[in-house]
């Protein structure tokens, strides 16, 4: 029976939590299940948190989570969810990956949150399937796993496997799970507990920038930022952006100043530099590749702009932040 179909039996969920994961990703998984149980006054969900070695898991925010068991235990369940974020390859080395591949056979259904999709992919569990990961990593994920149909969606369900792009999409995914298994009314009540009125569909693309209130308050600024996010490797000129929005350059600049207290040029540069910084620290791409991916004509130009933004050259920044 599919995971996302009517079924009133208790769903046993195992959450494999890797170090440096996001607390929000964990909370969006756990609290939706907890709220559903509380509202239904019955155990619709049971869960355990597992770590690879049974030791406490240090999250990216510094919070420490004490797992219920280690992943090598004989605990079995219906659904295994792998939550990961930073340095997932370090936290799931090859030896542990082999253990993971053996243990997942015990679970009828699999899921991943954020960088957990990399673990599933490395284990060969996404071959031929549609899948997603966090928007920052979509291009690298697509390049590394050509046998996966990589989607930019908030979450993807394909057969017995689901993948989500991060914390908020995980909340949406669990609401969908509750709705399909236990009914629309319960899903609405769970959403209400968290004062959540999101109407995101699974296929909604993950945005480079979460525009929020700007979409209503300043549609032109919102649309300009969306265009910027779609043209990181080949940046548009500000006049080009204004022209596509049928605005004058001056009008666009005034709206940016009014809404964000920054010029569109500076905002665009900041967006590109933040993406570059993440790639310098969290990817294995060469600095030349990063320069090209963030729209710089040469490594020298990129290095100069990087130093102006962050106070050190990209090579020194990478060395400092990957050894700490």
CATH 3.40.50.880 region(s) of the chain? Answer: 11-193
Structure tokens that stand for 273 in this block? 């530099």
Q: Is the dihedral of CA 125, 131, 136, 138 positive or negative?
A: positive
- For domain 11-193, the question of CATH label 3.40.50.880 is answered with yes
Sign of CA dihedral 163, 167, 169, 174: positive
CA separation for the pair 286, 248 (Å, rounded): 38
Both tokens assigned to 115: 């960088």
> Residue 255's pLDDT is what?
93
Write down the pLDDT at residue 165. 96
Short-list 10, 29, 4, 46, CA closest to 190? 29
Which residues make up the CATH 1.10.10.60 domain(s) of the chain?
Answer: 214-323
Residues 74-100: tens digit of each pLDDT: 778 999 999 999 999 999 999 999 999
Say what the pLDDT of residue 210 is: 61
CATH 1.10.10.60 fits 214-323, yes or no: yes
What are the residues facing 12 on neighbouring strands?
A: 46
Q: Is the pTM of this model over 0.85?
A: no
Q: Where are the beta strands (DSSP E) in the chain?
A: 11-17, 45-51, 57-58, 64-65, 69-70, 79-84, 109-114, 130-131, 149-150, 155-158, 161-164
- pLDDT averaged per 10 residues, the chain (length 324): 94 97 97 97 96 95 96 85 94 93 93 98 97 91 94 96 96 96 94 84 71 74 91 95 96 93 94 92 89 94 95 93 65
Q: Render pLDDT for 105-124 as a digit per residue (tens, 0 to 9).
A: 889 999 999 999 999 999 99
């Amino acid at each position: 029976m599919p995971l996302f179909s009517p079924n009133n039996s208790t769903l046993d969920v195992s959450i494999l939590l890797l170090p440096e994961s996001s607390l929000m990703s964990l909370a969006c998984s756990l609290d939706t299940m907890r709220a559903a149980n509380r509202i239904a006054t019955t155990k619709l969900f049971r869960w355990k948190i597992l770590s690879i070695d049974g030791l406490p898991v240090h999250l990216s925010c510094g919070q420490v989570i004490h797992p219920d068991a280690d992943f090598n235990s004989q605990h079995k369940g219906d659904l295994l969810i792998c939550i990961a974020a930073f340095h997932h390859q370090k936290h799931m080395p090859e030896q542990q990956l082999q253990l993971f591949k053996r243990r997942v056979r015990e679970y009828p259904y699999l899921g991943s949150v954020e960088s957990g999709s990399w673990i599933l992919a490395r284990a060969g569990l996404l071959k031929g399937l549609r899948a997603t990961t966090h928007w920052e990593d979509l291009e690298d994920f697509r390049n590394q796993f050509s046998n996966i149909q990589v989607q930019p969606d908030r979450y993807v369900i394909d057969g017995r496997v689901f993948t989500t792009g991060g914390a908020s999409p995980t909340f949406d995914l669990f609401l969908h799970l509750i709705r399909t298994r236990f009914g629309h009314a319960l899903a609405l009540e769970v959403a209400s507990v968290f004062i959540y009125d999101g109407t995101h569909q699974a296929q909604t693309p993950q945005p480079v920038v979460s525009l929020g209130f700007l979409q209503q308050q300043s549609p032109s600024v919102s649309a300009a930022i969306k265009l910027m996010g779609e043209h990181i490797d080949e940046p548009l000129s500000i006049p080009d952006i204004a022209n596509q929005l049928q605005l004058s350059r001056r009008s666009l600049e005034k709206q940016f100043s009014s809404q964000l207290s920054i010029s569109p040029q500076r905002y665009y540069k900041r967006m590109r530099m933040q993406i570059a910084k993440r790639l310098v620290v969290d990817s294995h791409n060469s600095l030349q590749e990063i320069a090209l991916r963030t729209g710089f004509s040469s490594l020298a130009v990129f290095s100069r702009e990087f130093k102006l933004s962050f106070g050190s050259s990209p090579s020194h920044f990478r060395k400092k932040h990957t050894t700490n």
